[in-house]
Structure 1
Amino acid sequence: MSVFTRTDVTAVKFYKNYVLAGIGSTVNLFHKTSTKLLQRLSGLYGQKIYGFVPSQYGDKIFVFGGKQFTVVSLSDPEQSNEGTDLLCRLFEPVVCDDWLHSAVWINKDVIALLTAHNVVQKWDIKAGTLTSQHASKDNSILYSGLLLKLEEDVLVMAGTVFSEVIIHKCGAERPLHHLKGHKGVIFSISCEPSRNIIVTTSDDRSVRIWGPDNEPTHPGTTVEYWKDTNIVCKHEVYGHLARVMRSCITNDLIISVGEDSAICYWDYEGKLLKKALTHQNGCIWSVDSDNTTLVTGGGDCGVILHPLTIATDYSYNEIIDVGVASPKKVIFTARKNLLVMDENVLVYYDFISKVKSTHKLNHDSTYKLLSISSCKQLIAIADMTGKLDVFLEKCKDDAFILNIIDTKLQLGKILSMHWAGNRHLVFCSDDGNVSVLASNNATVEIVARFVLPFCKERWLTASAIDSGSKYFVLGDRCGNIHIFVKEQKDPVKSFSKVHGRYGPTSINIVNNDIITTGRDGTIMYFTIQGDGIKRLSAKDLAFEWVEKFLDKDQNLVCGFQERVFVVYNIKDNCKVIETPCGGGHRSWDAVRYFEKVNEKYEECIKFVYLKDAAINITTFQLSKITSTNLVHGSHAKEINCLKALKLNDDAVYISGGEDTTLRISSVDAVNFKDEVAFKHLSSIRTLKTHAIDDNRFLIMSAGGRAQICIKDVQILKENGTIRVKSEELVDHFIRGTDKERKGNQTWRNCSIDFDPEMRIMDLDLLKYKDDFVIFAGCSDSHLRVFSYKNKSKKLELINESKYHNTCILKTKIITILNKTTLITCTTRGDVTMWDISDVINCNFEPFFSTKTNKSGINALATANLPENQLLVATGGDDNSIHIILLEIPDQDYLGSMIMLNSWQSSNFHSSQITGLCLVGNYMLSSSIDQRVTLLSWSVKERNIVCEFVSQTSTDVADVQGMDLLEFNGDSITVCVFGKGMEVINVPTNQE
């Protein structure tokens, strides 16, 4: 029984006030307004759902996919009892003799189906019988198709493998039209006869818009309409970078989605109105619209609602004239009004009253620094000679600013000025001298002095102060972060080159967490612990220039991707706003606020920037442009490794995959959500966890580019919400030009192995005193042993074996006869045992080796038996499961190990075995053939007995492995992972 499924969303459909989503073989029903999952229903058996066709004759919905179909009914919630299911499957799935592409209701009991060989079948749903079928003369294999109900019969649009669409009436001898022009197979066909539009998409990356070359005289539901019109290609448009998978037609728009994770919004004339990237770079498999909202299902397992106003009402643009001929700086205040500064004047502009006030700046230097406090009420203006003006914006009544401080500072040549909080101004002058000033009535006083460590560009780019006014956190132009306390001139802690050569752009201190942004595309996280500050982790974003956060929750961050202004949602991993402005090198500012619109408070973002000496303001109403997740997306590619953890009543999944991300995800009764994601340089092949305490773990992950990462992760639950705190301990490359291998050596003394293609296929870890020993099986046939020191946080290679002459696929540490043993498996089917009881001083040679499978071993499981015996199960590329029974006659000598018996079978799977679990007297196996098999095993008189118990299917394609979650005697719960993941409960009692 499937507990929950996360895989490609291959079908979505709006129906009344609901959204239907086909996730694997299950039908998921969501409420459109509340976005709540109402029900999950098993639709088909082992086939992905590819279409929903609601009936116009009642509350029935036709569901099909692969070679199967069924019908579900949807009850009216007002007429149903509370707690009863709304969806009900009316009959078991019917299996056809061919793949199904399209369906249409003929009447309340009859439905027509289009198969992959261009055959139209008509089924009596009530009787469950095939009443007729009509084969087309063009017996081409179809990649797509569409059926339209006519007044008298059915119209067929067949998307062929030879790049054309054939339109014919069901059962007719000759086709009505041949739509030619695509240079690849046809992936989808959409049609709206009432609007005279046909849209086709193809793997040639094009979208073609077809229509009659003259105004039709007959309705689109008649055969005469299609006989009398000449259909031509009106527009051929390109907006996608890869294959275009689906399209849909709304009242005003044509929408196409593709393999490049892009949604393109076109008007009927073929003009691209908007292009949005979504689903975390995964393919978008399905799309539908109800003329106000768009729903998409993607390869990242996500289901997303998009408002159609994103294409028609994206933003409101205006140019403000405040009477300044050549503005130099623009900035928003606390009341969302605008400050404009030129060489001699500061202008305050009130957006509500449209009134401006002008303040003369009596400065000797034309170069001025402008900075605004965290609360945005205090504005400081200083020149390089030390002339300082501070203005205060009035909070209540009429809006205006007041000059509260006008003084001359004696600090030397001022290079930078920043606010630290709402009270302290931080100046940096010659030779890295930093002065912190605070107000004292109408003047200022110096409260602290610091000196920046020497660097090439010795001035500040950002500053902050903690709530207790103990720590000053300063960032310099070379990308370093320095921690100062008031009593000391030198930093108590420095983090070298945290950000790029432009330095940090903002520093925020929230509670005891320090968050910095930079123009190197990263957000860095630090924490204050006791008397020290520790670097935790980094988050890489999809754009280089990361400037600042717009909200107090540090979720919306803004910046620039070349000439485009970007607002990014960190939790949902998506861009909220993209608007061209020319880039961030000009003066600009952005503010987030709430405004009352039509008796409802709407979240808005206002963006101001200078371009061609004009003040441009763009306003975004987020409800019109922000997408909503019905199902949160996760990995967009295959999951290679997964570990499930149980924290009290919560399940947490740690997974790594081909999309180069390591994700920690939480699951409650309904929702699956990524809490945090970490990046590797290449694919992640393996991960292991080690519990430090109840909610703290070490996570070791490795994979491509010979990269090993170690993280200290703490998982907390606060007010019903799971929160993940992580510290990156090690990011080590066995090969390559990484800085960690090179260390402090110069390039002359550093030897580099330029072969970054070696991959770490599997690893396991052993607690050794206060440290850890890590065993890594590598693709270059080497077994490498690393020591991880807890105190120094260093990873060192301490041993290496070249015993294997082929790629090592699996490593596993077990204990037998109180001795620690390592098992390795290779691509040649070898199983090898190593004694690692004293790994630091051992000779590191295997004591036993045997060959089980004919080729690579992908899965390994073991069980300790009485009488010095060990059971080892392997599964591999030869589609077979092998079990060997081993014994150690001499308990003091592991080298006396012998094989007593073996068992093997290739009858249970038709493809590679990728996962094995030994639980009690049961064994579970998973395979790429999407089957999970339960076997029972026993050892009788030194012979292995293994018998088939049951088999179930999984909706996860390209299965890469399986992890055991729970065994309670009556059932075994496992998580199967590959292209997605599925938790399956397998009963052990089959009576």
Structure 2
Amino acid sequence: MNSSIMKTEYMSAPVTALAFAGDLLLAGEGPCLHLYDVTSTEHLQVHQVLKHANIHGIRTDDGGKDCWNVALFGQKTLQLVQIRHNESAVHRESVLVRPDHHGECEVHDWIWDVCWLLPHQTLGKDVRQLALALGHNTVVLWDAKAKRSIREVHCQEKCILYCAHFIGSSWPDLVLAAGTVFREVVLWKPFGQEEDQDCVSVLQRITGHQGVIFSVCYHPPTGRLCTASDDRSVRLWQVAGPQQQVLDTRKDMGTVGQFELVLEVYGHGSRVWDVQLTQDYIISVGEDAQCIVWNMQGEIVKAFRGHRGNSIWSLAVSKQLQLVATGGGDTSIRLWRLPDSATPQSEAVGTSSTLDLPLSSGDFPRSLASCLDHLFLVVTDQGSLYSYNTATCQWSLVLQDPVYSSYSLLEVSTQGMVAMGSLAGTIKVFFISKPSACWETAVYDGKVLSLTWMEQSAETVASPGHLLSCGPEGEVIWWTTYTGTEAGIAVQKTATFQLPYSRQRWLTCALLSQADSTVVCGDRRGSLHCYRKQEGGQPTQPFQSLLGIHGKTGVTSVQMYRSHVYSTGRDGHYRQFQLCGTGQQLLKNNRVYKGFDWLEKLTFSEGGEVLAMGFHTSNFVVWSLSTNEPLLQVQCGGGHRAWGILPSSCQGALFSYIKARSIQLTKGPSISGNKRLILKDSLHGREITCLKFLGWATNNEGAQHAICATSSEDTTINIVALKYKPLSELVVLDSIQDHISSVRCLAVCPQHATSGSSQCASSPKLLFSGGGRAQLKCYRVSVSSRCGSGGGRNRKQRSKKDTCTAQNMETNTQQIRHLPKVDVPVKETQGCTSVDRLSDTSASKSDPGNNRRVQEESTDDHCDTTDTEPTTSDVECHIEYLTSHNLVERRKRKKKSGAAQLEEEEEVEMRYMALTAWQGRQGETHAAHLYFVAAACSDGFLRLFVYDDRDRRMRLFCVSDFHHHCVLSVDHFFTTTPDGTMHTYVISGATDGQTAVWNVTPFLSSVYHPTHHDIRVPEMVEASAKVPQILSTGTTESQDGTNASTIDSPVLKMKLNSGFPGKTSKLKMDSPDVLLKNHQSGVNAVSIRRVDSDHYLLASGGDDNSLQVTVLAVQEDTPNEPVIVTMATSSVLSAHAATITGVHIVDNCTILTTSVDQRMNMWKCQLILKPTTQCHLSFLHGKFCHIADIAGLECWNDECGQLYIAVCGHGIQILSSTHL
């Protein structure tokens, strides 16, 4: 490879600039200018307009009808373009006159603002001028045509600026409002009287802020000036004098008066980045990711929330369209509508009122529920049932029964069927439209503890109702209701269930699956139980129980959507399950947001929008999971009260609740079909820490999609699909939100050694993720065509040229699109085993192996699959949660003086820094179910894990504390001896600058012994399999599940470390086979590649900015005992200007490196093996990357050998490399 050209295929970065041009929105993302049509939300075009700078400002000027002159600037660079909008075109195409990169202008200082100036006679009417505000309080008069500076004027106040804003439109009238580092705004006129050294005196200083000024905005019609500051405040200033006095820039400041403070407001939780003014509003955005609209009295009219993570970086306001556009650090762009009235109101908070219910003396409301789409039902203390019609605002008495006085349960089905339960164990069922035709019977000796109408997977209007009642001792009765009888309603007892014992033993929610008549119940203990109707008089026990899966505070709802079961609870989580023959299989575990701990239910709309309802502290909240914002908030006092909601009534959303024995009604905006305008969806809310390529997926049209997994500091993992043709587009297929802390690293391992290519995304991959709080998790991921794989066989094959031709970013359109998080079609699996906390309550407690047998037998059952509705993507992702592993530390404490010591388990504050994974014993079928993971840990340990795909257990079996420093990087490779024996090696790099090479083959042999053909993962115990596994560091692994059987392995006994007598110990690696001291400090990245049968190329990059390359050779010290030796080394001490964060060996002569200096360098490695081994490095090619704080590097090839390179950090950039 003599030379290489790298070009960008796709990029997503924080949106740093926005501007409206008619009904177009211009967005600056890195060096690229994006064009959106705000009326259709269509992404029209994208063009790279700057070479190496990011766009920080966009200034437009009318150039005629549907034509705009646009000045784009960032850092020290200025670029001028022209946009023409053809409204008569069928597709409303916008034609951008592509700029000439040779015309890109660069000045000597940072550009803070640009202003288009009117032609002036002193310079000629044909000369188009701009004013540039520079970083040290300097103004440059710029000739746009000649691309040169006409004049440069300095202010007497020479200091660093944090912002600047021009007031005026012509050079003689121009005033600069500059926000200085001294927490003041300086106003001066560049055209003013110059003093010595060409400096202009200051006209006015605006002081008062307690922090630096980040934004200044002036509204000419009203003469108002607004400032935003580091002190979290927004201040409004007005020219002193008569009301609505405006600033006359043609006069001296002293003549027209000074600016005076008229308003100071605080509403942001962090720094305020930008502010805009209109006639009636102040709009501000800040570091807290909020966009707040204030009126001129300082009251918050609306507070828009929707961006993920921290900071909204850009803001634009269209007075014509009454729209606000915001661009965030999460790479998303959102549109918000300005309110019609300046009356203070939150976007999601409605107006409350008290409903006067005519009650007798001493009576008060006890229970409340919503009915159909227009009624609220209330049961009083004296047993009266009232209905409130929201359309007529009238109360009516439905019935009165003293049996239901003092205590009454009220449950209403979606069909308008009402069930009531009493203290004496009586149940009454009737239609709200015909309460006289009721069914009533005494069921229990004690009170009715709960009533639940079962959700149905395929409910219709004619479907019978299914009611579950729960009484004392956990007795649950299934009632089926029928209509159309002579009596009007008939109720039949269908089955009896028995809840497992718990302190709070009653039902809270239930679901009926019509496919196999499985009943899924949630109880007050936080558990989920699965039942099937059985013949006989004895109550049916659950055949599966997920004990405490929602904590100890209860399950609040369970429902089915698109063949998946969803449960919510008071632990703030909603979980997704696949209903299988043996019960429920956990797929995903998600949270709405931190602090939202009382989740009541999810609602799904036909358009794919998912809403979460629950309580956050004392507020009832309806949260959109699709747009990540609140749609309704009501201050009601919390969830411990009776309440009901009508989400789509004719008056909007109606929420009613009982508080202090009075009925409150809140009217809010409608929450159904209330979709926001999202021009570009978010990728991650914080920095992307790792990116891994999963494979290629082909849709039904034959288009190729690159499937990748990304992890982030925002605790999420995204599975994304990038398609290159005909337009570059990134689609988030699904998200994983299982981690409780940041996700630092990922590792991918093909699941089976099949005949197909390992780069095919449809073949399952095991995805291992590690991060903070010592969490290590495993998932099975596969991606397939949405309409099935069969359609691809008859498709015409594209030509090689069409497949392999790269698309330049300058001619591509790119965007991010999200699919609904919870709509994850799941691939049918061979065995649907239980999740971590599964307990078979029908099993005998005296048989400890019964759970294991049940789990093994479950592998013969197949999941029930149902055709899902089409999604918005032409490929779909299948994610299956497999297992997780946590480290906990065991400590001893004394509870009381003289009492025995008690052991406590606490989570280890350790972070996984890097992972590498491989399949066990490739080529041997008896070990195909084993997968190994080597983990670099922040506590100085190198840990080896083994995952058994048969019982879905992950165990720690080997450790090493050799480094005694934080281990930063890890990789692995294989060697083969002449007799065909495979040896596995692990490479680790730490903050001490050392790189170690470990032969882990003897330790792997302790897991699968060659003489055994059916081996389970060992428990590593000498006496009992129930003894906790203790690490030599005083830590133990904590993992739910059943114990696997042990093996009698002489290798295992020989290698066990006996540091803790009587307790389980892990295997321990004492010293590496090869130790390299190549770096002065941390080794951040390592990569290894096999050159030939005996030689390997090892490359590493570190904090010392150096690239180190070592040639390793495999030699035989004794027969079939390989020894790794160092043959040659080469280095580049200053390979980058900053820390190297990524290294990848492309081939035997090419190495890629990335760094936080935003450079990607390609190095030529000249390797000579004979007669003596030599290695020489030389610089081949460099590419500037527009992603800040690059944290990871990943490479892959397409079917034609085209190399794709991805870097991640504050965004993601994917490049292609063309070798010449």
The amino acid that maps onto 1:317 is T
Residue 1086 of structure 2, aligned match among 860, 877, 893:
860
Note the alpha carbon deviations across 1:719-775, whole angstroms, 9 max, x for none: 35354453433332223479xxxxxxx9966464x6833222112223221222221
The amino acid that maps onto 1:159 is G
Matched residue SS, 1:846: coil
Alpha-carbon shift at residue 171 of structure 1 (Å): 4.1
Match runs of 1:286-685 below 5 Å: 286-291=314-319, 292-309=322-339, 314=347, 317=351, 319=353, 321=355, 323-325=357-359, 326-343=364-381, 344-354=383-393, 356-393=395-432, 400-413=433-446, 414-421=448-455, 423-439=465-481, 441=485, 442-468=489-515, 470-487=517-534, 489-542=540-593, 543-552=596-605, 555-593=610-648, 604-612=652-660, 613-622=662-671, 627-645=676-694, 646-648=696-698, 649-668=704-723, 669-673=728-732, 675-685=734-744
Q: Distance in 1 between matches of 2:590 and 2:907?
A: 27
Corresponding residue for residue 100 of structure 1: 111
Residue 908 of structure 2, aligned match among 738, 756, 776:
756
Aligned 8 A contact 2:935 2:944 in 1: yes
Aligned 8 A contact 2:367 2:410 in 1: no
Higher strand share: 1
Aligned 8 A contact 1:857 1:874 in 2: yes
Corresponding residue for residue 169 of structure 1: 189
Distance 1:320 1:202, change over 3 A: closer
Q: Distance in 2 between matches of 1:684 and 1:328?
A: 47
Match runs of 1:134-153 below 5 Å: 134-150=153-169, 152-153=172-173
Note the alpha carbon deviations across 1:90-110, whole angstroms, 9 max, x for none: 332211100010110013721
Matched residue SS, 2:251: helix
Q: Distance in 2 between matches of 1:662 and 1:848?
A: 35
Note the alpha carbon deviations across 1:218-244, whole angstroms, 9 max, x for none: 754533384412211112221122111
Q: Distance in 2 between matches of 1:667 and 1:391?
A: 54
Corresponding residue for residue 750 of structure 2: 691
Q: Distance in 2 between matches of 1:195 and 1:610?
A: 47
TM-score using structure 2 length: 0.76
User: Structure 1, unaligned stretches of length 5 or more?
Assistant: 394-399, 598-603, 739-745
Alpha-carbon shift at residue 439 of structure 1 (Å): 2.5
Alpha-carbon shift at residue 871 of structure 1 (Å): 0.8
Note the alpha carbon deviations across 1:770-827, whole angstroms, 9 max, x for none: 2222211212222112222323332222111222232211111111234221111122
Aligned 8 A contact 1:683 1:703 in 2: yes
Corresponding residue for residue 1151 of structure 2: 923
Corresponding residue for residue 879 of structure 2: 726
Q: Distance in 2 between matches of 1:614 and 1:407?
A: 28
Matched residue SS, 2:473: helix
Q: Distance in 2 between matches of 1:189 and 1:376?
A: 57
User: Structure 2, unaligned stretches of length 5 or more?
Assistant: 1-6, 120-127, 193-199, 456-463, 699-703, 753-761, 787-869, 892-898, 921-926, 977-981, 1007-1050, 1056-1068
The amino acid that maps onto 1:735 is V
Matched residue SS, 1:55: strand
Alpha-carbon shift at residue 652 of structure 1 (Å): 2.8
Aligned 8 A contact 1:460 1:477 in 2: yes
Distance 1:20 1:737, change over 3 A: farther
Aligned 8 A contact 1:307 1:627 in 2: no
Corresponding residue for residue 155 of structure 1: 175
Q: Distance in 2 between matches of 1:968 and 1:909?
A: 32
Distance 1:677 1:537, change over 3 A: closer
Alpha-carbon shift at residue 969 of structure 1 (Å): 7.2
Q: Distance in 2 between matches of 1:955 and 1:333?
A: 55
Alpha-carbon shift at residue 81 of structure 1 (Å): 9.2
Distance 1:423 1:158, change over 3 A: same
Q: Alignment RMSD, CA only?
A: 2.8
Matched residue SS, 2:236: strand
Alpha-carbon shift at residue 945 of structure 1 (Å): 3.6
Residue 80 of structure 2, aligned match among 71, 85, 110:
71
Corresponding residue for residue 601 of structure 1: none
Match runs of 1:805-954 below 5 Å: 805-817=964-976, 818-838=982-1002, 839-841=1004-1006, 844=1069, 845-866=1071-1092, 868-890=1094-1116, 892=1119, 896-920=1123-1147, 921-940=1149-1168, 941=1170, 942-954=1173-1185
Aligned 8 A contact 2:648 2:671 in 1: no
Aligned 8 A contact 1:558 1:568 in 2: yes
Q: Distance in 2 between matches of 1:495 and 1:873?
A: 48
Alpha-carbon shift at residue 427 of structure 1 (Å): 0.8
Residue 772 of structure 2, aligned match among 663, 683, 704:
704
Matched residue SS, 2:108: coil
Matched residue SS, 2:1079: coil
Aligned 8 A contact 1:571 1:675 in 2: no
Corresponding residue for residue 956 of structure 1: 1187
Corresponding residue for residue 743 of structure 1: none
Q: Distance in 2 between matches of 1:347 and 1:551?
A: 30
Aligned 8 A contact 1:870 1:886 in 2: yes
Q: Distance in 2 between matches of 1:47 and 1:703?
A: 33
Matched residue SS, 1:195: coil
Distance 1:711 1:733, change over 3 A: same
Q: Distance in 1 between matches of 2:510 and 2:12?
A: 43
Corresponding residue for residue 934 of structure 2: 775
The amino acid that maps onto 1:234 is V
Corresponding residue for residue 397 of structure 1: none
Q: Distance in 2 between matches of 1:244 and 1:316?
A: 27
Note the alpha carbon deviations across 1:812-865, whole angstroms, 9 max, x for none: 111123422111112232222112234243764422222222221112222211
Q: Which moved more, 1:3-12 or 1:883-892?
A: 883-892
Distance 1:638 1:323, change over 3 A: closer
The amino acid that maps onto 2:619 is V
Sequence identity, in percent?
A: 27
Q: Distance in 2 between matches of 1:934 and 1:83?
A: 42
Corresponding residue for residue 924 of structure 2: none
Q: Distance in 1 between matches of 2:1201 and 2:491?
A: 75
Note the alpha carbon deviations across 1:354-396, whole angstroms, 9 max, x for none: 5554222224241454444552421212212233332325xxx
Note the alpha carbon deviations across 1:193-227, whole angstroms, 9 max, x for none: 21222111111111111112322687545333844
Count matched residues. 968
Distance 1:256 1:110, change over 3 A: same
Distance 1:83 1:952, change over 3 A: farther
Distance 1:608 1:452, change over 3 A: same
Q: Distance in 2 between matches of 1:356 and 1:256?
A: 45
Q: Distance in 2 between matches of 1:269 and 1:463?
A: 50
Distance 1:379 1:697, change over 3 A: farther
Distance 1:849 1:469, change over 3 A: closer
Is 1:22 aligned with 2:28? yes
The amino acid that maps onto 1:98 is D
Alpha-carbon shift at residue 320 of structure 1 (Å): 6.8
Point out which structure has higher relative CO (alpha carbons under 8 A, 6+ apart). 2
Aligned 8 A contact 1:306 1:626 in 2: no
Match runs of 1:186-335 below 5 Å: 186-215=213-242, 220=247, 222-224=249-251, 226-227=253-254, 228-291=256-319, 292-309=322-339, 314=347, 317=351, 319=353, 321=355, 323-325=357-359, 326-335=364-373
Distance 1:296 1:830, change over 3 A: same
Matched residue SS, 1:957: coil
Q: Which moved more, 1:673-682 or 1:142-151?
A: 673-682
